[in-house]
Chains A and B, each alone.
Chain A
Amino acid sequence: MAVISRTLFLTLLLALVAFLSASSSSTSSLFAHAQPQNDNEALLQKKVARLEAKAVKNKGVIQLDSLAFEDVMAKPRNYSMVVLFTAISPEFNCVPCLNFDPEYKMVAAGWSKLANKSQLFFSILDFKAGQAIFQKFGMNSAPSVLYFPASSSISGDPSQDRYDFGKSGFQAEPFAAWLQARSGVRVPVQRPFDFMGLAVKVLGTFTAVFSVILFVRKGRKIFGSKYFWSTISMIIIFVMISGHMWNQIRNPPYSMPSQQGRSGFIASGFQNQFGLETQIIAVLYSLLTGAAIGLIAVVPRIENPVGQRATVWVCMGMFTLVFSILIQVFKLKNPGYPFTLMFR
């Protein structure tokens, strides 16, 4: 009886020990509620230190990929993040991405030089490296800049704080102002000393001085020359009537990869155009004007009847051909246009 009771007691004891030992892992976690806090803090500190190192190495900007993004954004986080979603690679032909890149880096560099900075990191996620993240955020245009405050989680994307390029533009200054509204710290935007600009200015001054000297010395010859001014005027006119100012203001891509039988250098749509397109139009216009001038000014100077006839036919042929091409190009833009010249 006693044996039984002893064994019972022993088994009970054993069971208790077993239970205790089994639950020890859970208890220890229960227990060490303070301990992992320290652990997390250490982890965080490590992460921040790592990020800082990365940032310092790269002038304040951290290059991310999908994995690194998830890692950096993972929940225990006491720092804010600014992420630039971009597509720098040439095959995407993203002109605004390229334009904004140096401006962004400039603000980041300005930030990293600040003494009293709060915890904020600048990072760049290129489409090539972080396709998954782009999908996750449903980004179908680049560049975009998102701001993640320290507390936010990445899954809460609906109300993500986004920088509005459409309104504020691609300059560093409005971007810094936007950031200031969020972080409360004024980021000084120091444009790096512009050697190119200086060179251009110096060169410009030299050219100006030189042309003044030239004007004084040989002014009559060059600046009094009709050809000089007529060339300049004609160039300006051709550039303007082929829609260059539109490009200047709207910044369209130079051309697009061609697809489905649609050439890549004529934009579809009446109020849209590519950079290359305007150049093509300028060439067509100048060929037409050239043919007209040839008929007016060159032909009557030719003494030889055969040569004169040939010139007339060539000029007129070119005129008609190029005009037809021009109309054809116009029809691409405006499919309802009913008139044609040579081609149906």
Chain B
Amino acid sequence: MSTESSSTVARVLKPTILILIAIVAISSRLFSIIRFESVIHEFDPWFNYRTTQHLVKNGFYDFWNWFDEKSWYPLGRVVGGTVYPGIMVTSALIHNVLHFFNFPVDIRNVCVFLAPMFSGLTAFSAYLLTKELKDSSAGLLAAAFLGVAPGYISRSVAGSYDNEGIAIFLLVFTFYLWIKAVKTGSAFFGLLTALFYFYMVSAWGGYVFITNLLPLHAFTLLLMGRYSNRLYVSYSTFCAVGTLLSMQIPFVGFQPTRTSEHMAALGVFGLLQLYAFAELVRGYIPPKQFRALLKGGIVAVAVIASIGLTILSFSGVIAPFTGRFYSLYDTGYAKIHIPIIASVSEHQPTAWTSFFFDLQMLIFLFPAGVYLCFKELKDEHVFIILYSVFASYFAGVMVRLMLTLTPVVCVSAAIAYSTLLDTYLETSEHVLASTKPAIAAAATSAPVVIEATTSDSKATGKKTAAKAAAAAAAAAKSADAEAKTHAKSAASSEKKRFPIFNLDSRLLVILQLTWFLFMFAWHCTYVTSGSYSSPSIVLASRQQDGSQMIIDDFREAYYWLRKNTKEDAKVMSWWDYGYQMAGMANVTTLVDNNTWNNTHIATVGKAMSTSEEVSYKVLRQHDVDYVLILFGGVIGYSGDDINKFLWMIRIAEGVYPNDVKETNFFTPRGEYKVDHDATKTMRESLMYKMSYYRFAELYGSGNAVDHVRNARMPAEGPTLSVLEEAYTTENWLVRIYKVKDLDILGRDLKDSTAFDKGRVRKISSLKKK
């Protein structure tokens, strides 16, 4: 094959491979839809979905000014000013465009498929980014890696309609534009960076990562003595436009000028201006005088800046670090000061297994890629190095930030992997030999991929991903090897490099690496299918005969609420279920997953963890009509409210230390028990009573066993007097209680219940004494 024809082949191959990668990325995120149905997952997505519906129905301005009186009863919530609207606006836009062209797509389907669609775009931007760092073959590899890496899939499967779904695309693409801007020094790309930064700010709170990483890059380049007009132009454009734009989001507001998280960006901006000014002056003044001027100038600027900052921060114009952000630095901080942050599982630190689980072989190819960046060390490689170091720190502190690490791991592992392939495939005759099978592989993988999107078999998906990844690697390699060879020969003129002499060495490395790619693809499919594709509102379990049982209690309960309660019924539950209730049951909630008011949450915690008399007052004060709880004791669902109860108590104790005491819920041996050993406070708490009310009746006498906590329950269950059972779902997973009205005869509810049960009042009052 001649050089020309192979470059033509490359030109055709590259887009084909990219499209295939996008298809693989999308189809591997569809497990949950094939297994269950097209449904919104988890908790936060339900809020996003609800607001998107509002946006589509009532238009943008109404959405912007929306005051939601159905949440945080009786406080309400200003939705327009407290959300990152990026994801809602994106899907509303897609919805409207599709409708403009007369595709009557339901907004729910737009929301469900948004994250997978954007994952295809993410893969493409990983290609662009890596292409700037090495070459397009590495770019294709990076795209394939990022397309299927579980670390990213975990937050972007179909139905997980959350900010991260589009934010990772924006993150990678903004970084690509930034590198392009620094490389070319064009204000155009700087402006594009700022625009996409704005999009990112509107979409995810993680934009702070960009806000700090880009200035850090600029600052490091300054320290390395790599100041250039390119840097000046690109950074100044980005910072000026980006900061102004980001302030247009009401939720962000004036933060960029006030909080310390944003200070780095402004500081580096100022520094860059001073530096540029000094450079300008240097051109007009003799060196000796310039030196004196510089020294004086540095001292003066440092003094003024430090005085100014001190005054501003003491006078309160500049806020100190916000709690959520601060917990990234001092890891013990959150545990002591903000239990509500510590209680969220995604804010836990990351064990090494999570790194391996989410990234498999990429995790150790990643440092090799960083090493290669050090070898090259152009401006853009400095960026990747900084990104790697900081993202790996943050990912270590918080499981959730694994998401920001994954792109750089994929990029830098792709650089390492493709350099390996370059080294062991390079010679012209080898290129020719490997092109044919590569094309063949790519060609055969195409129909398989399409098959996989329609078929629901797990095995096909697995195979597809494996094949496509391998094909992409091989084809990408061969397509670009030509260009590589030229580059290599240029490089070898500097340092003495030799080709790989023996065929067996080449074969060994190439075959082994290909095998690793297969393993990687299998691993990714296994992890995606097994761990990250559960919608969590519909559960699946295997019965003893191996058949699948679908547990749909949540939707059952929410639907019951929707159909059987008044329009304005207030339902109290722990904050985890607030968004789902608002979205699915359309009822008024007291607290939800937007945990902005700790006191209100603590009030709910207090109502749950105190005795009936105390909590009835709280319930009445907040007009609560129904109380909803989760109880997993029957089917062994471990994420239920009794297991979350300790957090409720802890949060409640933080605000009401006199009413709730955590120690009273522990047995003298310091254990958390629900059976015979349970403490009196525990047995009298509303949560305990609601959970185990009539539980013992389900089993024979004295045989009641809580399957989550493996506890044998007392034969006589708790009694309720201020609540009455309203509804319990099929598997007892959700229990709804109605709050009783005040007694019409003005009696104590406890007495009236006792009376209704046929007991004379005397007995009950005697019992009290």
Q: How many Å lie between the Cα of A187 and that of B192 in the bound state? A: 60
Checking B351, B500, B668 against A160 with a beta-carbon cut-off of 8 angstroms, the contacting residue is: B668
Interchain CB contact under 8 A, A330 and B356 = yes
Are B523 and A246 in contact, CB atoms less than 8 angstroms apart? no
Chain B residues with Cβ below 8 Å from A300 are 423, 497-500
Q: Which of B364-390 contact A (CB under 8 A)?
A: 364-368, 370-372, 374-375, 377, 385, 388-389
**CB–CB B498/A303 < 8 A:** yes
Q: Are B419 and A285 in contact (CB under 8 A)?
A: no
Write out the residue numbers on chain B whose beta carbons fall within 8 Å of the beta carbon of A316: 508-509, 512
Query: Are the C-beta atoms of A139 and B669 separated by less than 8 Å?
Result: yes
The chain B residue with its CB closest to the CB of A229 is B374
A295–B423 contact, CB under 8 A? yes
* Complex contact A296–B363 (CB within 8 A): no
Bound-state CA distance A282–B335 (Å) is: 27
Interface segment out of the listed B261-269, B391-399, B447-455: B391-399
Tell me which residues from 507 to 530 in chain B have a Cβ below 8 Å from any Cβ of chain A: 508-509, 512, 516, 519, 522-523, 526
Contact between A312 and B351 (Cβ–Cβ < 8 Å)?
A: no
Known: A233-B385, A243-B350. A305 touches B502 (CB 8 A): yes
- B-contacting residues, A208-256, CB 8 Å: 224, 226, 229-230, 233-234, 236-238, 240-246, 248-250
Q: A226-B377, A249-B332 are in contact. Are A237 and B389 (CB under 8 A)?
A: yes
Most chain-A CB neighbours within 10 Å: which of B349, B365, B502? B349
Q: Once the chains are docked, how many angstroms separate the CA of A278 from the CA of B355?
A: 12
Known contacts A167-B650, A273-B351; is A299 also within 8 Å of B385 by CB?
no
Pick from A8-16, A44-52, A319-327 the stretch touching chain B: A319-327
Within 8 A of B (CB), among A291-344: 292-293, 295-297, 299-303, 305, 308-309, 312-313, 316, 319-320, 323, 326, 330, 333-334, 338-339, 341
Set of chain B residues within 8 Å of A285, measured between Cβ atoms: 363-364, 367
Q: What bracket does the count of chain B residues touching chain A fall in?
A: 35 or more
Give A303 to B372 CA distance when docked, in angstroms. 22
- Tell me which residues across on chain A come within 8 A of B351, comparing CB atoms: 243, 246, 270-273
Contact with A along B332-368 (1 / 0, CB 8 A): 1001100000000000111111111100010111111
CA distance A229 to B392 in the complex (A): 16
Answer whether residue A98 sits at the interface, using C-beta atoms and an 8 A cutoff: no
Q: Contacts A164-B662, A169-B332, A292-B416 known; A302 to B368 CB distance under 8 Å?
A: no
B343 to chain A, nearest CB (A): 13
- CB of A159 within 8 Å of the partner chain: yes
Residues of chain A within 8 A of B395, CB atoms compared: 240-241
Nearest A-chain residue to B374, judged by Cβ? A230
Question: How far apart are the CA atoms of A312 and B650 in the complex, in Å?
Answer: 58
Please state if A158 and B368 are interface contacts (CB–CB under 8 Å). no
The secondary structure that dominates the A interface is: helix
Q: What is the chain A residue whose CB lies nearest that of B355? A: A241
A238, A243, A288: residue with the most chain B Cβ atoms closer than 10 Å: A243
Q: Are B367 and A236 in touch, CB under 8 angstroms?
A: no
Interface residues of A in 135-155 (CB under 8 A from B): 137-141, 144
| Interface size in chain A (residues, C-beta < 8 A) | 71
B444 at the interface (CB under 8 A from A): no
What 0/1 pattern do residues 157 to 168 of A give for CB contact below 8 A with B?
A: 111101010011
Smallest beta-carbon distance B478→chain A, Å: 19
Taken together as a complex, chains A and B put the C-alpha atoms of A141 and B668 apart, in Å, by 12
A231 CB, min distance to chain B CBs, angstroms: 10
Question: In the complex the two chains form, is A319's CB within 8 Å of B505's CB?
Answer: no
For B105, the chain A residues whose CB sits under 8 A away are none
CB distance from B344 to the nearest CB of A (A): 15
Q: Which residue of the partner chain B has the closest CB to A277?
A: B352
CB-based closest 4 A-B pairs: A243-B352, A245-B396, A312-B505, A288-B364
Provide 29 A-B residue pairs closer than 8 Å at the C-beta atoms, listed in order of the A residue. A138-B668, A140-B669, A140-B670, A160-B668, A169-B332, A169-B335, A226-B374, A229-B374, A236-B392, A237-B370, A243-B351, A245-B350, A246-B349, A248-B331, A249-B331, A271-B351, A272-B351, A277-B352, A292-B416, A293-B368, A297-B375, A312-B500, A312-B508, A316-B509, A320-B512, A326-B356, A339-B522, A339-B526, A341-B519
19 other A-B residue contacts (CB within 8 Å) besides A244-B396, A296-B423, A305-B502: A141-B670, A169-B336, A224-B224, A226-B375, A236-B393, A241-B363, A245-B349, A246-B350, A246-B351, A285-B363, A292-B420, A296-B368, A297-B371, A297-B375, A300-B498, A300-B499, A302-B498, A323-B361, A334-B353
